[in-house]
Amino acid sequence: MSGTVLYRKWRPADFDQVVGQEPVVRTLQNAVAQDKISHAYLFCGPRGTGKTTTARILARAINGRTASTGATALGETDDLGFDLVEIDAASNRGIDDIRELRERANYRPGSARFKVYLIDEVHQLTGPAADALLKTLEEPPPHVVFILATTDPEALKPTILSRCQRFDFRRVSVDDMVARLRAIAESEQIEIPDEALRLIAREATGSLRDGVNLLDQVWVMCGSSVSLESAQEALGLSPDARAMELASAALRGELSEGLAVLSAVQEDAIDFGRFKKQVVTHLRHVLLSLTGAAGTLSLSAPEMERLEEVSAGIEASAAVTALRAFSEADVRRDPYQPLPLELALASIVYGPPVVEAPAAPPAQTQQGRQGGQPRQQRQQRQQGGDGQRRQGQRREQPSTRSLPKVQNQRPPAEQPARAQSVAEPERRPPPPQQGAASGASRASGAGSSGEAEVLEQIRSALRRRNQGLIATMMNQSCRILEQTEDSLTLGFLPNYQQVHMRKVSEAAAHVSAAASEVLGRQVAVRCVPSDGSGQASSNGSPGGAGQAPAREAPQVRESVIGREAKSRFGARPYRAN
């Protein structure tokens, strides 16, 4: 036994030796005593809490072989022989391994009552392997018992969980672990104070196996006589005094004292990952003490006195700020670089940097302010390259509809007025005075951006009247040729005269009602074919009474948009036949 490590030598051999799992042990003992053995068990819990050990004890107990009958420790021998099959699912996780298990399960045990299959880390099984295990797990042979152990039960399928009796193993408390370590130390004739055992228990974080292994490590380094200082040195832990000094400096806003502590720790080449852990632990203790929860701490009398001294005159909000700052400090990249902890200390003293949000533009809507950023900006960040250009084109479509067409340019004398209208779309020209000649009305209305807006408003009114098809037929297929006090003439381009003009003419009553609503006066809409130059063709008007009056074609001049299209894209003018 001299060459065996402590955690294997002192592995429990019976239910009475299992530490910190009283509910689980009591239930299993009652099941064995009443001979109510389930066909499948699931043991869940963190590492080192006794899942595999308890599974081995249960396998021996259901076969009538316990420590009271003279059985040795499970870490040394296993008197069940081939009737206890342990499978590591981390390395035997395929469907072929499970098929082999199903074939072997049909054979009866050699000498025991039950043949027990212990599958450790069962959550590592692949999906097909888990599916192959389901049927055997649900209805195994009467002589087979499955015990599944895992540290991640959430990764298992619900169909597996529903076929097992589940037992959750909890972390071992500090007091229970100290009692177990004290018993092992006395048996091995190790002189060690309770403060050192408590330090080992806290470092083990609830894993009894880790705690016993750490005791073995301290014993090897320090010999049979162990002190608190030597235990700290063996475990590579920084002295509690310096960690508490840094915590105190952070709570009181003493930047220079805290930086001096970090500099001294760096000179001693101490791992800042472990040092940070100690500081965070002390700050947590201070927070619990300030909130009245100091009774939950497992501290010695000197440690409690030091904690009360540091907590004097400190507000709970300061403890929360310091605890958050040091918890978020990342020292993993360089565990011997104090910069993350120095920045955390400085942020506690001076506070986090304040970044002023940019003022929202006046035209931004309330919905945009609530969303934090305009929808277009969020979409452009998610998309790149062509996606951004496509998004920009979609956003610009409503404004490009109101631009004037090349065919409807004004005479040269009226170009400045139209240019001002395009540059400032919010400024509308005053409506024509009543009694003005129809020719003047055509000169002021035809081809301007106001006509496109009037048509768009008419289409919107048609949609409100459930005439969406007619509104679609009027999209980019017609324009206003003439507008008088009681009539509105729409000219349809050559490519839209067969279907679009006929459909709009059939719904002339609805179109007239929508136009009257938009213009604020009673008008009758007429539909006539147009040659694309701004005047009616000689084919007549199927939707109105007679042919639209002819007028002199305005002089066609190249617009700014036309010149830009030619220079950028090599566009050519288009004329309809």
Note the pLDDT tens digit of each residue in 86-136.
999 888 888 898 888 888 888 888 888 899 999 999 999 998 898 888 888
Amino acid letter, residue 389: R
For residues 70 and 160, state if they share a domain.
yes
Tally helices (H) and strands (E) across the chain: 26, 8
In the predicted model, is pLDDT for residue 218 greater than 70?
yes
Strands (E), 151-218: 165-168
Per-residue pLDDT at 439 = 39
Average pLDDT rounded to a whole number, residues 10-29: 93
On whether both 200 and 223 belong to a single domain, the answer is yes
Q: Are residues 323 and 202 in the same domain?
A: no
Assign residue 286 the CATH number of its domain.
Answer: 1.20.272.10
Helix (H, G, I), strand (E, B) or coil at 383: coil
Q: What is the chain's Cα-based Rg?
A: 43
Q: Quick one: pLDDT at residue 549?
A: 45
Residue 414 pLDDT > 50, yes or no? no
Measure the CA–CA gap between 360 and 369, rounded to whole angstroms: 7
Q: Is residue 511 classed as helix, strand or coil in its secondary structure?
A: helix
Identify whether residues 454 and 505 lie together within a single domain: yes
Please report the pLDDT score of residue 28 as a whole number. Answer: 95
Domain of 48, CATH number, reads: 3.40.50.300
Residue 387 is predicted with a pLDDT of 44
- Domain assignment present for residue 563? The answer is yes
The pLDDT of residue 299 is above 80: no
118 CB-contact burial (10 Å; exposed 0-12 / middle 13-18 / buried 19+): buried
- 399 located within any domain: no
96 and 178 co-located in one domain: no
Give the pairing of strands 144-150 and 115-120.
parallel
pLDDT of 452-500, one tens digit each? 888 888 989 888 888 888 888 888 888 888 888 889 898 888 888 888 8
- Both tokens of residue 41? 């068990």
d(CA 242, CA 325): 18
Q: Are residues 216 and 299 both part of a single domain?
A: no
Q: What is the pLDDT of residues 302-325, one digit of tens each?
A: 888 888 889 888 899 999 999 999
Query: 271 and 183: one domain?
Result: no
Residues 273 and 163 in one domain: no
Residue 66 lies in a domain: yes
Note whether 217 and 182 are same-domain residues.
yes
Contact 83, 110 (CB under 8 A): yes
CA atoms in the 13 A half-sphere facing the CB of 100: 8
Any domain includes 280: yes
Whether residues 15 and 159 share a domain: the answer is: yes
Average pLDDT over residues 379-401: 45
515 and 445, same structural domain? Answer: yes
Q: Are residues 520 and 566 in the same domain?
A: yes
Residue at 277 is within a domain? yes
Give SS3 for 256. Answer: helix
113 or 367, higher pLDDT = 113
The DSSP output letter for 192 is -
- Which of 293, 315, 350 represents a domain boundary (last residue)? 350
Give the span between the Cα atoms of 106 and 142, in whole angstroms.
10
Count structural domains, the chain. 4
In a domain, 128, yes or no: yes
CATH number of the domain to which 230 belongs: 1.10.8.60
- Answer yes or no: is 375 within a domain: no
The whole domain housing 10 covers 6-168
The answer to whether position 402 is within a domain reads: no
